[in-house]
Amino acid sequence: MTHYIGIDVGTGSARAGVFDGVGTLLGACSAEISTVRPQPDFAQQSSAEIWVAVCSSVRAALAQAEVSASSVRGLGFDATCSLVVSDAQGGPVSIDTQGRAGQDVMLWMDHRAMSDADEINAIGGAPLAHVGGRISPEMELPKLRWLKRELPQSWARAAQFWDLPDWLVHRATGGQTRSLCSTVCKWTYLGHKGTAGEGWDNDFLTAIGLQELTRDNHAAIGAELAAPGAFCGGLTEQAATELGLRAGTAVAASMIDAHAGALGTLGLGIESGQALETRMAVIAGTSTCHIAVSSKSRFVPGVWGPYHGAVLPELWALEGGQSAAGALMDAVVARHAASDELVQQARAEGTRTATLIEQHLHNMAEETATLTADRHVLPDFHGNRSPLAEPWRKGAISGLTLASGTDDLALDYLATVQALAYGTRHILEAMRAEGAQIDTLVMSGGLARNALYLREHADATGCSVLVPDGKEPVLLGSAMLGAVAAGDLPDTKAAMAVMSGGFRTIAPRGGQIATYHDRKYSVMRRMQNDHAAYRALMAEPCEEKMSHTEGPRS
């Protein structure tokens, strides 16, 4: 029997899963990764620590699955779109302002380059049309611009700049091939122009002050590119020893973690005849990504893309997102006065705090959705990634009282889950306005196991929600890449057809519930407008602000 390994490096851990040829998960394990936050908006990691976590999780997954390394034909990597900086010898280059060794990764959620993103957007350029018209500080070019200006010694030492998924492939094979998935989605590479570097826009790179990246056929950022799943080489002797696998095992061109989730879920039940273009993958964990594919290039303001070949060959992808999803739910709970007692209860009972909150909601009312008529959440606590594309935005909770008990915490939690669903609806509306015909959401990520999150998304968006039977669809997407790289399946579309597995469907309830969500959605949109107005008021000169607030003087 042949097997494939999917490796997923998320924000807080590396995970590995062992799958058979039809996509059955045989074993999965994880290892934690630490994040350093030296100041607000900074989030850093170590590539060396990430690799150790990868190796530990692969070895443990193999042992759990009781699978021999000799049966593993291929492996695929996915990871967060984080920036890795290395020197000419492949060693780490510090991105830390204090020069701490080993801190060579700017995590995707690092927003230190917010002003650089603003300046790039002001300069403009043709590639910006493919990121919704505005580049994000979570993408790599603003981060590189910050590095060049703020840490010139690190910039001078740097020889290679990697997206983390590509660095993992490099670490495993010693090769230099980058994936179209990362370079198109996070580096402004135009994938429809080719894979030999033709997609880099030298005029744009020069205009934004990164002309060094154009040298030597863009060697520092990618001169050779490949579609996800393409064979990128075999495991080196060193990497094979570290991973507990055989040298030469096929390694695939990688994917961003959310895109691997899309690959692992978009094909659910597709043999029924439903077109891929009627679906949107919702990959929901610490953050959420919303990915749809199309045979046409659709330009949606505030939504990243269209990205050619980033998910599936010859198809364009659109990517919306929320910078905080699971992280927002956790933060809203953690800041509440009643959270400590619930956390202690959850530990004592061996369950999740969220489970206790959801049980409490059911004790409050038979129909819980409508409990939040007076409680509203603006979910932009970490900015709005899509479709407003304004990272400066902040969040809010409206309708607070003097109550501080579990009932009040449960309302905050429910209103937050609903607000995230309204954010998904906002993204859907933006895509539909440009011709997308999406009526189905396919779920993956940690929140795909949250029944309340799933129900509220179905009801708030009016879409059917498909939930995979498999527990690890993101890992499955990466394992599909490994099967293609090994030559056992011809392409990623074929892998989807063979390996996707079963699913269940959650239908929207409609009726009065839909009307209720329509009203709450309108409230959230009004809150977004109001908070933008507050920011504008606070940006006015003091004299003008006084004229808004002072009455006539006697």
Cβ neighbours around 71 below 10 Å, total? 15
| Secondary structure of residue 88 in the 3-state scheme | coil
At residue 552, the pLDDT reads 40
Helices (H) and strands (E) in the chain, counts: 18, 22
At residue 15, the pLDDT reads 97
At residue 543, the pLDDT reads 52
At residue 271, the pLDDT reads 65
Give the separation between CA 216 and CA 434, rounded to whole angstroms.
39
Distance, CA of 203 to chain centre: 29
Q: What is the CA radius of gyration of the chain?
A: 23
| Secondary structure of residue 37 in the 3-state scheme | coil
At residue 551, the pLDDT reads 45
List phi, psi (to 5°) of 378.
Answer: -95, 110
Residue type, 118: D
| Residues contacting 158, CB < 8 A, separation 6+ | 85, 86, 87, 93, 147, 220
Q: Classify residue 33: in a domain, yes or no.
A: yes
- Token couple for 220: 């520092």
At residue 535, the pLDDT reads 94
At residue 274, the pLDDT reads 60
| Residues 327 and 383: beta-carbon distance below 8 Å | no
State the total domains in the chain: 1
Q: Classify residue 195: in a domain, yes or no.
A: yes
List phi, psi (to 5°) of 48.
Answer: -65, -45
Q: Classify residue 227: in a domain, yes or no.
A: yes
| Residues 348 and 410: beta-carbon distance below 8 Å | no
Kindly list the averaged pLDDT for each block of 10 residues, start to end, along the chain of length 554.
Answer: 96 96 97 96 97 98 97 98 97 96 95 97 96 92 98 97 98 97 96 93 98 96 96 98 98 96 91 78 93 94 94 93 95 96 95 94 96 98 93 96 97 98 98 96 93 98 96 95 98 93 95 98 98 92 52 39
Q: Classify residue 335: in a domain, yes or no.
A: no
CA nearest neighbour of 256 among 46, 8, 485: 8
Cβ neighbours around 394 below 10 Å, total? 13
| Residues 479 and 19: beta-carbon distance below 8 Å | yes
Q: Classify residue 69: in a domain, yes or no.
A: yes
Cβ neighbours around 104 below 10 Å, total? 27
Give the separation between CA 400 and CA 402, rounded to whole angstroms.
7
Q: Classify residue 46: in a domain, yes or no.
A: yes
Q: Classify residue 91: in a domain, yes or no.
A: yes
Q: Classify residue 197: in a domain, yes or no.
A: yes
Structural domain boundaries, residue 170: 3-257
CATH number of domain containing 18: 3.30.420.40
CA distances from 224 to 82, 175, 178, 189, 471 (A): 20, 10, 6, 12, 34
